[in-house]
């Protein structure tokens, strides 16, 4: 992909989700400008995730003063993933870079990350090798990264780094919600963007305000990991998952009940008190339930044709 030299579209779109970060925005915009202006054309897309402070006023001011600064404002707080998604949809650059608004990520890293995209990578993820966060965050984070690394089969040290650079195709092919921003590399890989790498980036302590994520980040994060692992495998064929469990249960339950019926009929033995009868009935009922869940899944899927479209990389 070439830079957008001849058109009005910028080379780079910087997407910045923010929730109550009024003190940082002006400084951040200056820092991005200083880091990029002499090499690239760029736009900044601030996504105000329902801030209750003056963030949106600051963004409106910045946008009035700089024609490459844009903003999207949510009426209430939807979370970082939803904010990123809105920014991705608006981004028009050849490359898309995300960073946090709290000045912890350093815009000076962007040119090198974009160079790596030009060299052929689809996604370059920042790695906060030396981190300035409290220990309550760094230890769970190490564990989280380990689990994700194994589950996803992607060799990254720091999945959750806010600073990442993408070819535009990547962000246009994925859909973020919930806590999925922690798993963008997995989503990208699932869409067939396999050239994923990382770059060690400078990390700063938070200068203003405070972190927006509490303990719930770990619980919600893991629930979303389960979802994504399931979705990765079975989204397009829920019947394969639920149906096979259903058939297995129905089969075993059916066999048990036929056996019981046989000894009742042939040998006239009482079977009413046998625990095995309850197991047989239970398995058959559960089997039907799994089976119908699978069927429902298939029906719901039919209404979401979107999900079944393959990501097309080229046509001639
Ligand atoms: N953020 C957001 N919506 C939220 C929570 C956070 O847009 O509901 C933004 C936040 O303003 C910041 C980025 O996401 O720009 C990362 O958040 P934070 O710095 O609080 O996370 P941490 O660095 O502590 O992981
Ligand atoms: Mg932060």
- DSSP character for 120? T
Closest CA to 15 of 95, 89, 97: 97
Report how far residue 91's alpha carbon sits from residue 172's, in angstroms, rounded to the nearest whole number. 9
Sorted by sequence, the CB contacts under 8 Å of residue 147 that are 6+ apart come out as 225
Return the ligand 1 atom nearest residue 20 CA.
Answer: 11
Strand 12-18 and strand 42-48: the pairing is parallel
Helix, strand or coil, per DSSP, at residue 294:
helix
Closest ligand to C-alpha of residue 210 is 1
Q: Which protein residues touch ligand 1 with a CB less than 6 Å away?
A: 17-19, 21, 49, 77, 79-80, 83, 100-102, 104, 162, 211-213
The model carries a pTM of 0.80
- Average model confidence (pLDDT) for the chain? 89
Span from the CA of 274 to the centroid of ligand 2 (angstroms) = 61
What's the CATH number of domain 12-234, 3.30.365.10, 3.90.1420.10, 2.40.160.40, 3.90.550.10?
3.90.550.10
Paired with 123 in beta bridges are 166, 196
Cβ proximity of 10 and 92 under 8 Å: yes
Name every residue whose Cβ is closer than 8 Å to that of residue 92 and which is 6 or more positions away in sequence.
9, 10, 13, 43
Higher pLDDT, 273 or 41: 41
Element (H, E) at 131: none
Q: Which atom of ligand 1 is nearest to the CA of 211?
A: 20
**118-137 pLDDT per residue, tens:** 999 999 999 999 888 888 78
pLDDT surpasses 60 at 1: no
Residue closest to 71 by CA, chosen among 11, 36, 31, 25: 25
Residue to substitute in 15, 16, 19, 178 for testing ligand 1 pocket (most ligand atoms within 8 angstroms of CB): 19
CA of 202 to the centre of ligand 2 (A): 13
Whether the predicted pLDDT of 309 surpasses 80: no
Indicate whether 306 pLDDT > 60. no
pLDDT in tens, 7-49: 689 999 999 999 999 999 999 999 999 999 999 999 999 999 9
Across 88-92, 212-216, 233-237, the highest mean pLDDT is recorded for: 88-92
Q: Which two tokens stand for residue 85?
A: 């998604």
> pLDDT by residue (tens digit) across 243-264?
999 999 999 999 999 999 999 9
| Per-residue burial over 259-289, b = 16 or more CB atoms within 10 Å of its CB, e = otherwise | ebeeeeeeeeeeeeeeeebeebeebbebbee
Mutate-to-test residue for ligand 1 from 80, 141, 145, highest number of ligand atoms within 8 A of CB: 80
pLDDT, residue 33, reads: 97
Please give the structure tokens belonging to residue 189: 């890989």
Q: List b or e across 92-108, with b for residues whose CB sees 16 or more CB atoms inside 10 angstroms.
A: ebbbbbbbbbbbbbbbe
Cα–ligand 1 centroid distance for 19 (angstroms)? 6
């Amino acid at each position: 992909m070439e830079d957008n030299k001849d058109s009005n579209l910028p080379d780079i779109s910087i997407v910045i989700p923010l929730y109550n970060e009024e003190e940082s925005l002006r400084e951040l915009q200056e820092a991005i400008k200083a880091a990029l202006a002499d090499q690239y054309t760029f736009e900044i897309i601030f996504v105000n995730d329902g801030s209750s402070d003056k963030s949106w006023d600051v963004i409106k001011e910045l946008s009035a003063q700089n024609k490459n600064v844009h903003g999207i404002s949510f009426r209430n707080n939807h979370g970082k993933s939803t904010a990123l998604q809105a920014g991705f949809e608006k981004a028009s650059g050849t490359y898309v870079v995300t960073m946090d608004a709290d000045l912890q990520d350093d815009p000076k890293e962007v040119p090198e990350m974009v160079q790596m995209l030009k060299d052929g990578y689809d996604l370059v993820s920042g790695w906060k090798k030396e981190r300035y966060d409290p220990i309550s965050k760094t230890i769970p984070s190490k564990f989280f990264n380990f689990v994700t690394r194994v589950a996803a089969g992607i060799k990254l040290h720091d999945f959750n780094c806010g600073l990442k650079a993408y070819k535009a195709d990547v962000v246009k092919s994925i859909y973020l919600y919930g806590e999925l921003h922690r798993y963008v590399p997995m989503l990208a890989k699932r869409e067939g963007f396999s050239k994923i790498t990382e770059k060690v980036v400078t990390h700063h302590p938070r200068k203003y305000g405070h972190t927006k994520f509490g303990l719930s980040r770990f619980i919600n994060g893991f629930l979303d990991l389960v979802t994504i692992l399931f979705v990765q495998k079975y989204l397009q064929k829920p019947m394969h998952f639920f149906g096979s469990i259903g058939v297995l249960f129905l089969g075993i339950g059916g066999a048990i009940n036929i056996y019981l019926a046989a000894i009742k009929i042939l040998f006239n033995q009482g079977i009413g008190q046998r625990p095995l009868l309850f197991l047989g009935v239970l398995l058959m009922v559960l089997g039907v339930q799994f089976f119908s869940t699978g069927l429902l899944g298939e029906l719901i899927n039919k209404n979401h044709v979107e999900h079944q479209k393959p990501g097309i990389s080229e046509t001639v």
